[in-house]
Chains A and B, each alone.
Chain A
Amino acid sequence: LAKTTQPISMDSYEGQEVNITCSHNNIATNDYITWYQQFPSQGPRFIIQGYKTKVTNEVASLFIPADRKSSTLSLPRVSLSDTAVYYCLVGDADRGGSYIPTFGRGTSLIVHP
């Protein structure tokens, strides 16, 4: 399984854009990159998933360079409610795969007023 490395914590202010980068140097060809958000005492919530280049949905964007050895989750104009822990997971999420979601330490994002 590809190991991921993220900053332990980040601080931001309301209205700013936040970019969280995850390193996954030994990502495999079939691996997807998935980001989750977790609030205290809740289960992780899916944010976004991608394989290459750029993916955007209503809450975030995911940027993946050509070598796929890293990825960046971009949260536009964060609010206080975005304060949470963000996890980057890498694995073969194909429907036929035996993907086992394995969590690293995650990044604790604190958004200040």
Chain B
Amino acid sequence: GAVVSQHPSRVICKSGTSVKIECRSLDFQATTMFWYRQFPKQSLMLMATSNEGSKATYEQGVEKDKFLINHASLTLSTLTVTSAHPEDSSFYICSARDPWAGGEQYFGPGTRLTVT
């Protein structure tokens, strides 16, 4: 089946620095990818929809200048957490939709971000 990868799997950074997380669809092309954030013992919260070749669509309450999303190709979307703070520490998950597999969504393994 289709696979979505994320890199890195976990990252620790200092407060004030920026961190980039990559999401790749390995064997299919995805015009749309989604970014989620998940805090401990909570559900996945959609942050934004990443559209290849155009600007991302952010959910209400998500700062687009803080969470930069770039979808430069049909297989890669990146999420950059700028000027990270401890409250940004979370589990970030991306997903991609394979339009030729009945629209099934495939989720990445997630990235654990810890801001110290």
Residues of A within 8 A of B (CB): 34, 36, 41-46, 49, 87, 93-97, 99-106
Give 5 pairs: A residue, B residue, CB < 8 Å, sorted on A.
A42-B110, A43-B4, A95-B100, A100-B46, A106-B43
Chain A residues touching B, majority SS: loop
Query: A96 CA to B97 CA in the complex, in Å?
Result: 11
Which B residues, 58 to 116, have Cβ-Cβ distances below 8 Å to chain A? 91, 93, 95, 97, 99-100, 102-110, 112
Nearest residue (CB) in A for B10 is A41
Chain B residues touching A, majority SS: strand
CB < 8 Å neighbour of B103 from A36, A43, A93, A102 = A93
CB distance from A47 to the nearest CB of B (A): 11
Q: Is B44 an interface residue (CB 8 A)?
A: yes
CB distance from B104 to the nearest CB of A (A): 6
Chain B residues lying within 8 Å of A41, measured Cβ to Cβ, are 91, 110, 112
Nearest residue (CB) in B for A104 is B43
Asked if residues A93 and B104 are in contact (CB atoms below 8 Å), the reply is yes
Chain B residues lying within 8 Å of A95, measured Cβ to Cβ, are 99-100, 102-103
Asked if residues B103 and A97 are in contact (CB atoms below 8 Å), the reply is yes
Asked if residues A102 and B104 are in contact (CB atoms below 8 Å), the reply is no
Asked if residues A43 and B104 are in contact (CB atoms below 8 Å), the reply is no
Query: A41 CA to B49 CA in the complex, in Å?
Result: 22
Query: A34 CA to B36 CA in the complex, in Å?
Result: 18
Query: A41 CA to B112 CA in the complex, in Å?
Result: 8
**Apart from A44-B107, A46-B106, A106-B43, what 4 extra A-B contacts exist at CB < 8 Å?**
A95-B100, A95-B102, A101-B34, A103-B45
CB < 8 Å neighbour of A102 from B4, B46, B108, B112 = B46
Chain A residues lying within 8 Å of B45, measured Cβ to Cβ, are 103
Query: A44 CA to B102 CA in the complex, in Å?
Result: 18
CB distance from B79 to the nearest CB of A (A): 14
Query: A99 CA to B43 CA in the complex, in Å?
Result: 18
Chain B residues lying within 8 Å of A102, measured Cβ to Cβ, are 46
Asked if residues B103 and A103 are in contact (CB atoms below 8 Å), the reply is no
Asked if residues B103 and A99 are in contact (CB atoms below 8 Å), the reply is yes
Chain B residues lying within 8 Å of A96, measured Cβ to Cβ, are 99
